[in-house]
Structure 1
Amino acid sequence: MGEFRPVADVLLYLAGSWRAERTVRDLAGMDEGTFTGTTLFSPLDDGGLLHHESGTFVWQGVARPAERTLRFLPGTAPGTADVRFSDGRPFHDLDLTSGQWVTDHPCAADLYRGEFTVLDADHWRTVWRVAGPAKDLILTTDYTRTADDTRDRP
């Protein structure tokens, strides 16, 4: 990936509403799906953010509602985050102080490798490569800050 933008505080940067557009490619079966929706990062009492994503996932021509919730908590270093599933289990760390971050999440026999890239104040991208005996996927999500998000941007 080309240029990226360093972010001093990942939680401050992510706060607000984003349009999410995701492609899901199954490299084994060559199927492709899409997710289109909204991701809202809203404040938690502990200084973190509640990440709620909702929209429509289309797979093999069938559209279904889809949603997920994560918790982005303050990380161990200033400006970083500790990302957790909604039930509190650890997911991954996140440090965008250089504008880009690569992290892993082992899930049973599969390995999720995520690459996060900040493109500018209103655009960022994640690419998750999922490999293992049960999965061979690439999930690419482009996030665009929504026009109704009028907060001050870092």
Structure 2
Amino acid sequence: MMIRLENFTGLWSMAREIDDRRTGQCATLTGTCHFSMDETGTLRQDERGVLHMPETAQSFEAERRYFWRADAEGIAVFFEDGRFFHTFDPNAPAPHADHACAPDAYSVRYAFSNWPDWSATWRVTGPRKDYVSVTRYTRQTVEMEGCDT
């Protein structure tokens, strides 16, 4: 199956593990990710969840938004404020992208081999950052309670 931008549309369960290699702490985020297409063909990604910090026994509400657009190289991802983030080809054998945000470097590897389940693994390094973040997405199905016909 060829994965296209519109294939992401819908509601996904999201589970993220963040392994901070500087502090030795591991945080988790659970929530949802909603992809919705607008009239221009831009896909809006809205993530919402609860970030759990087990070492401190604290939890926080977390959310973020990105915009995805089809382009010649596959899918271009933009920050909420419109700045370019990265481009990836979901149909490449090993989809990946890099983003330099001096002084930090971000590298992502996507895995779509179990579509519609998929994941994104980020490796982030810099003077004050050294972590790996793995997010797994599972499509939510809507149960229809219906009319008997």
Q: Unaligned regions of 5+ residues in structure 1, if any?
A: 1-6
In 2, the alpha carbon distance for the partners of 1:34 and 1:99 equals: 28
- 2:65 corresponds to which residue? 69
Superposition RMSD on alpha carbons, in Å?
Answer: 1.7
Aligned positions of 1:18-57 closer than 5 A: 18-57=12-51
- 2:104 corresponds to which residue? 110
Identity %: 31
Cα deviation for residue 99 of structure 1 reads 5.1
In the superposition, relative to structure 1, how do residues 103 and 87 fare at CA in structure 2: closer, same or farther (>3 Å)?
same
- 1:70–1:84 Cα contact (<8 Å) kept: yes
Cα deviation for residue 106 of structure 1 reads 1.0
In 2, the alpha carbon distance for the partners of 1:149 and 1:121 equals: 20
- 1:4 corresponds to which residue? none
- 2:118–2:137 Cα contact (<8 Å) kept: yes
1:144 alignment partner AA = T
- 1:119–1:125 Cα contact (<8 Å) kept: no
Cα deviation for residue 65 of structure 1 reads 0.3
Runs of 4+ in 1 over 3 A off after TM superposition: none
TM-score between the two structures when normalised by the length of structure 2: 0.89
In the superposition, relative to structure 1, how do residues 124 and 110 fare at CA in structure 2: closer, same or farther (>3 Å)?
same
In the superposition, relative to structure 1, how do residues 74 and 149 fare at CA in structure 2: closer, same or farther (>3 Å)?
farther
Cα deviation for residue 119 of structure 1 reads 3.0
TM-score between the two structures when normalised by the length of structure 1: 0.86
Tell which has more relative contact order, 1 or 2 (C-alpha 8 A, sep 6+).
1
What is the total number of aligned residue pairs between the two structures?
142
- 2:131 corresponds to which residue? 137
